[in-house]
Amino acid sequence: MKLRLAGFLDDSLVNGDGLRTVVFVSGCSHNCPGCHNIEMQSHQYGEEIEVEAVFNRIKDNIIIRGVTFSGGEPMDQAEALCELAEKIKSFGLNLWCYTGYTYEQILEGTDEYKKKLLSYVDVLVDGKYMEELKEGAAKYTGSRNQRIIRLKQS
């Protein structure tokens, strides 16, 4: 299975707790005004890469403690990310996921892959970015409406 990736950071300290790898997926239909990843909104941006190749790059980085899915909108590629997430979790890494959907929208929706992806996620940062709420946003969020939900502790 393939993912359409917009970018990849081997080492990041700003996309979740601890040193982590960040997988930026392409495509997002939220079109949040003020989005800082606007080029990643296109579903044609970036390149298609086999899930196994992405995982190999992640597991070769022995200093990280986790992986973050960002974008674009990760839930738009939930099926392929489920495959990657399963590999990440079996490797013992924690997983964060940023999404413009709310936790409730995902649970109430009909897309089973989005729900399945949640089962692998340790921390979900949910909600659309709202430029008018960016001042005073919590660490790891872009705007005050976004929540950091520690799914494994809930």
Which amino acid is residue 37, in one-letter code? Answer: N
Give pTM, 2 decimals: 0.95
pLDDT digit string, tens, across residues 122-133: 999 999 999 999
Mean pLDDT of 57-79: 96
Q: Per residue in 81-109, pLDDT tens?
A: 999 999 999 999 999 999 999 999 999 99
Domains of the chain in sequence order: 2-153 (3.20.20.70)
Q: Do 147 and 98 meet the contact criterion of CB atoms below 8 Å apart?
A: no
**One-character DSSP codes across 55-103:** HHHHHT-TT--EEEEEES-GGGGHHHHHHHHHHHHHTT-EEEEE-SS-H
Q: What's the chain's average pLDDT?
A: 95
Residue 154 pLDDT exceeds 70? no
